[in-house]
A and B are shown apart, each in its own frame.
Chain A
Amino acid sequence: MDNKHIEMRGVRKSYRFFTLDDLSLDLEPGQIMGFVGPNGAGKSTTIRLAMGLIAADAGEVRLLGHLLPENQAIAKRDVGFVSDEMRLFAHATVGWHMNFIASIYPGWDAKYAATLIKRFNLKPEQPVKGLSHGEHVKALLMLSLARRPRVLILDEPTSGLDPVARHELLTEFMDVLRDDSRSILFSSHNTVDVERISDRIVFIDRGRIVDSRDKEDFLERWRRIQLQLAPGAILPELPNIVGRVVDGQFVTLTTNHFSNDLLARLGPTVREVHRMSLEEIFVASVFHHREVAGQ
């Protein structure tokens, strides 16, 4: 049974100054996937590949089971895409865009569109050129959501938005996921948003996937452990330690594979054990990955 919404296998895309390589990911129905990376990591390139907007040099990309970019027209009937680079027609009104989209997509849900207009406090008669950045993003999202696509692909949807607008957007995303046959892939460098609503998280840096797993798994595996060694004592070699800072008798370890066995091995030297936020985990993973790769 192959019902993955997005499937990328061993994908490569080379540009003169940037290469995305060995990229594999799966978006399952009912899932929100957060795609996190620093600027220039390859988030947008990946999203363009997932939308069939560009062709991979190697590997395979499938969207709702359809091979891309060949079959993108069929696949995209059921996909909504919003990027913060997208622009609506400046001289047309929001309502004109709604009629336009409704005329193309038979699945347009006028009632839901009206609800979203109200929730987002948009006015159909307003010309696009008078919209603020936040309103523009909300209008784009409303136009996508009201088609009720099975997959939503969102490139930095919350970037540049104020906290209230961000909250409104996240609420709408979670509302979509009440239906377990739908899914969302969104990229962001806002780790707070990602930590809150994602089921699955993918870290990307310099064109490579650094780590990819369920969110709870990330949060369970990473810990910062503070130790106080006896004077003159030397810390034994330990597995799964990705960071070690020594300051006299005090040592701070970062592990990506926390377990009670590790604690038992450290014994009474342990002073404190701290959980890490997704942002701390992300930064530590990226630095660890660069170190291992010798960059």
Chain B
Amino acid sequence: MYSGINISQTDARPMYLQIMEQIRARIAAGDWPAGKELPSIRALAAALNVSVITIKRAYLDLENEGVIVTRHGKGSFVADVNGLAGELQEERLAEHLTRAAEIGQSLGLTLEDLEERLRRARKNLDPK
């Protein structure tokens, strides 16, 4: 039983984000190693008293982040970070860039403006 995952009613974040955060923490801590099978969606929903659709949403987003992989009909597993996760990260980057281009267009930014902003964002990541 996975009762160690807590959902707080006073936490302003939605329930699926709270669940994602706690799963990520378990993976980061090494408690859930690569390849470990996650509880099924319905089992976790029953254990946490949370709707199936909320758990589905959390698993789907973790999958999009490359943290877990879901094999159809077999269940969800903690991803091997060097393998499939890389591809998923690629896809995610492409998606975000498309979104950025769309929003840039709706704001009337030129391509040069966008490039400059990306450069600045990149610089802000780097403490040097």
Contact = CB atoms under 8 A, between A and B. Distances in A.
A215 B54 CA distance: 8
A177 interface: yes
Contact of B46 (A175, A261, A267): A175
B46 A216 contact: no
A290 interface: no
Interface size class of A (residues with CB under 8 A): 20 to 34
Interface stretch (B9-17, B19-27, B63-71): B9-17
Interface stretch (A19-27, A54-62, A166-174): A166-174
Given A174-B46, A196-B51, A199-B52, 16 more contacts: A30-B52, A31-B52, A32-B51, A167-B49, A171-B49, A180-B42, A197-B49, A197-B51, A215-B51, A215-B53, A216-B53, A216-B54, A219-B14, A261-B106, A264-B107, A275-B14
A215 B14 CA distance: 11
A180 B16 CA distance: 20
A20 to B, nearest CB: 26
A216 B16 contact: yes
Contacts of A260: 99, 103
Contact of A178 (B43, B99, B102, B107): B43
Contacts, number: 56
A266 to B, nearest CB: 11
B34 interface: no
Nearest to B7: A196
Contacts of B57: 216
B50 interface: yes
B45 A174 contact: yes
Interface in A164-193: 167, 170-171, 174-175, 177-180, 192
Given A216-B16, A216-B57, A260-B99, A197 B50 contact: yes
A192 B9 contact: yes
13 contacts: A170-B49, A174-B49, A177-B42, A177-B46, A178-B46, A196-B50, A215-B53, A216-B16, A216-B54, A219-B14, A261-B103, A264-B103, A275-B14
A198 interface: yes
A101 B43 CA distance: 29
A265 interface: yes
B51 A265 contact: no
What are the 4 tightest A-B residue pairs by CB atom distance, in nearest-first order? A199-B53, A174-B46, A216-B57, A264-B103
A264 B99 CA distance: 12
A196 B49 CA distance: 7
Contacts of B106: 261, 264-265
Nearest to B106: A264
